[in-house]
Amino acid sequence: MGQNLKWRALLYGAVILVALVYLLPTFITVPAWWEKYLPSDKISLGLDLQGGMHLILEVDTEKALENTLERNVADIEDLLYTNKIPFDHVKRISRTAIELAVVDPGAKDRVKQLLENNVPSLKPEKIDEAGETVTFTLAVNDIEARQIKKAATEQALETIRNRVDQFGVAEPSIQLHGEDQIVIQLPGIKDPKRAIELIGKTALLEFKLVNEEANVDEALKGNLPPDSEILYQRDVNPKTGEVKRIPYVLKKRTLLTGDRLVKAQVQIDNRFNEPYVALEFDSRGAKIFERITEKNIKKRLAIILDNNVYSAPVIQDKISGGHAQITGRFTMEEARDLAIVLRAGSLPAPVKILEKRTVGPSLGQDSIRQGIRAMIIGSIAVIIFMIIYYRLSGIVANIAMALNILLLLAALAGFGATLTVPGLAGIALTIGMAVDANVLIYERIREEMRYGKTVKASIDTGYSRAFLTILDSNVTTIIAAIFLLQFGTGPVKGFAITLTIGLIANMFTAVAVTRLIFDYFVIKRRIKTLSI
């Protein structure tokens, strides 16, 4: 029995030591060797405790559908070029349909087969034959359209998550809400304005030809050529800070988009000592870019990001290798942010901010102080009650309660969970349930002692009979907390996290640790009476 007691003490001591190792970095500055060999993550505080920003975004899924069709247009053109099939045009004629005109009637069946194998989401809705031209009308059905919209929202979620990760926000919360909304929480954010610009930027990179034949002044007066559009370049005078908007008449047709991008990084122009963003496309994008530059030598190719022209250089020669660059008198921070959004990928569609809330750090500090004050007052009240009512045994229960909080906080640090104001409420509830478990045990022990049993027999019976009741109440509450954790959001999830961890720790501290202490006094100290 004594040997068993020793091994239990060593095991429980090891658990408590590990908890202290995980918890210490939260409260003290650990040395460099600690960070190298031991856990050094701190408890992460939620938005409501350390301040930050709360956003609700809505994804324009209709625009995502249009963008998908525009990419299909480029893919079909590339397919026809590769297979040497002559065609007059490929263009989007509605939100869900594309028109393809092939000028070789004998290629009709071949085109149908190529489309079926390479663009299965588009189904031939109508095929018209007039002279030497075969016109296909390709459409996306309702089921496929819904899938595209759903995929767009999920892709937007992942893209925003990648951007936030590269931005360097600790413990962000990014979740889907409904069919087309995304909820974002950024605790401890220092520059909310920059974060919003980075998150909300669609980062749709497009390459379009400048309409060289169009007169800009006439276009601005309303005489815009067909299949053209006016976009502007923002030009900032570095000396005066004056901002000019330079208009361009561009062909609407998008020749290449950023979805073919594999690399975007900031580099410095040696001539002007200014940063720019160097781009590199994948193999297919490189082929498309090479063909674009080969066919349009001496023409201007506009590089556009989110409908803003960054530059419109003249194509001097065919460009192989899939390399391009975006210039625009950037600051280093602007160039770095642009590279981030391009690396993380463009959003599949624009997003609109439906709700924006900023929580100041002072409010978070007030929440911490009030929450901790409530916990301390509640804990002191419980400690006093347990000592008055259960005497020395009450001190044992209080030790277990303190260990419960220690293990709970250590688990938060170890698992990287976030502590929130509702999480503090979960800790307070855990304290109550920890004491409740000991009350059940102590009342059973008292009952057995009234029957005249020895101290050891009373303790053995009290623990064995109360254990099933404690297990039942804790397990049922843990199940409820897991459901809250799974399906809840925000404050509900914060409450569920601390409650779940606290209840699991409670099974160890309120039952195992207190039993070890009682066994020590009964077996080693051989006490004859119990202060309970």
In order of their start, the domains of the chain are 2-50+360-524 (1.20.1640.10), 53-59+144-357 (3.30.1360.200), 63-140 (3.30.70)
**Integer-rounded Cα radius of gyration of the chain:** 34
Token match 């303190």: residue? 402
Give the global pTM: 0.58
Instruction: Record the tokens describing residue 206, joined without a space.
Output: 């497009």
- Cβ atoms of 168 and 308 closer than 8 Å: no
Instruction: Record the tokens describing residue 457, joined without a space.
Output: 């027999």
Residue 97 has what pLDDT? Answer: 92
Distance (Å, whole) CA 445 – CA 423: 33
Low-confidence ranges of the chain (pLDDT < 70): 1-3, 166-171, 238, 360-365, 367-368, 489-491
- Cβ atoms of 352 and 180 closer than 8 Å: no
Distance (Å, whole) CA 493 – CA 474: 18
Q: 237 vs 240, 241, 245, 312, 345, CA distance in Å?
A: 6, 5, 11, 18, 30
Secondary structure of 245-282 in HEC code, one letter for each residue: EEEEEEECCCCEEHHHEEEEEEEEECCCCEEEEEEEEC
Residue 19 has what pLDDT? Answer: 92
Residue 217 has what pLDDT? Answer: 92
| pLDDT tens readout for residues 48-105 | 777 788 888 999 998 888 888 888 888 898 889 888 899 999 988 888 899 999 998 8
Cβ count within 10 A of residue 131? 7
Buried b (16+ CB within 10 A) or exposed e, 367-378: bbeebeeebeee
